A and B are shown apart, each in its own frame.
Chain A
């Protein structure tokens, strides 16, 4: 039973990690641009 449990956990982990990497890579870039834009606007006197 333990082997199946760990097999399922490894499969779930690799599928989740592959998906979230692509998703965060795209959405994170949008976040960086927005963050820098807001900081630039608040830094101005």
Chain B
């Protein structure tokens, strides 16, 4: 039972989809070079950058895992957002790492590493970024499809069709227009998404009331629902892990740095960071309130529309089931359009961002041996984006999620965030850093999160992973990457030929 009305809400969604597709396809005529396709000719200004960054970093998957955090941990679930907002603000204000990164004129972070650590490190960094990034993105399409199926009220049997249609719409303009289409559609998507998010939140606060939300958190989570240090499932290890991952993500998350590198100059890039900082708190808090509202309102038997597979962890689906019954006709259309906007902007940006690393860094050795024309380079990029789309469809249908969604996202992200953040800081500010340290950091940073994911799937070690927990495994990845960089760099004899870059 859902409030979605096909005539009224369906028309709103259809109109939004039509406008986005037309805008995305219209700007493809401006794309004549690889540089236009990957970094929009480096012509992005501050406000477009803020809109694009905010839209990219908020997808249906974000909405679901932040709402799940609100449902499972109360207000404490918004802690990662608060930490990332502070990290964005400080890094944007000081220019720490991001100034030398943008000033270097590179297209991707591994390209910067080549200047300091050599071409092999660039290639290896590219591989580990794509590995972590594609694993991280693997659940996007499935989760987006599940949300739409539940809110619109489709039979869950239509999940594959929903996923395929969603992917085809996104891939069409991303393949043709690259970063230019992504930026223009991101802007439209930011406006629609924000309007929907705010309207639904004000409706929840007006109808359910602040007091009822607070009471629900107190009843289910006690004081731990307000203070992450006191929550039985979170605690200090969770906060420390979040400080590591949110700082690393602000510095090296490819989708974030793609906006920095598409900016006109480092000053513009820094302004985008400070201007968008508070949004990173809002993206956790706003859907977190929706999850808390689901906790306050949903009564027994709400799980009926869920499949047996979804009922393994129903907390992920509490918010969409709640919204499908709570949001009235008309506003439901805006909500679905907003969520589609959020998902399309995220999926398109992520497809492009991992494609840029594959083309720019993993294929770099092959491009050196065979000169590539702009036309051929564009064709390659388009094929890579299409290939990532197919991967999303297959992985999303095949992979079974263990634990909560946010944990999966942080573990897969840590595969490369741990090492890349260490490499970037060392590359910009530590003269002694060298390729031995870089290799050590990349290997050690990837071993812990990948080992954790694999051990989760092996029956004999699954219980051990539950005892260790994702927080300690994640912290270990960051500590090991930093230690390996230090030890490896100190072990390699210093050479006057070692290349270096100056911090800006």
Interface residues of A (CB under 8 A from B): 2-3, 5-7, 9-10, 13-14, 16-18, 20-21, 23-25, 27-32, 34-36, 38-40, 42-43
Contacts and interface: CB of A to CB of B under 8 A. Distances in A.
A13 B278 contact: yes
Chain A interface mostly:
helix
Tell me what chain B mostly uses at the interface: helix, strand, loop, or mixed: helix
Contact of A39 (B45, B180, B194): B180
Contacts, number: 101
B179 to A, nearest CB: 11
B194 A31 contact: no
Contact of A21 (B32, B45, B82, B195): B195
A43 B30 contact: yes
Given A6-B226, A7-B210, A35-B183, A28 B194 contact: no
Contacts of B51: 24-25, 28
A34 B47 CA distance: 12
A38 B43 contact: yes
Q: Name which of A18, A20, A30 has the most chain B CB atoms within 10 A of its CB.
A: A20
Nearest to B284: A13
A42 B223 CA distance: 59
B89 interface: no
B279 interface: yes
Interface residues of B, number: 44
Contacts of A28: 47-48, 50-51, 187, 190
A3 B226 contact: yes
B27 A36 contact: yes
Given A10-B285, A39-B180, A17 B75 contact: no
Contacts of A6: 75, 214, 226
B30 A39 contact: yes
Given A35-B44, A43-B32, A2 B226 contact: yes
A33 B49 CA distance: 14
Contacts of B180: 36, 39
B198 A17 contact: yes
B184 interface: yes
Interface stretch (B33-41, B132-140, B386-394, B492-500): B33-41
A24 B470 CA distance: 37
A17 B195 contact: no
A14 B289 CA distance: 11
A13 B191 contact: no
A7 B211 CA distance: 10
A20 B46 contact: no
B286 interface: yes
A27 B48 CA distance: 8
B187 A14 contact: no
A34 B286 contact: no
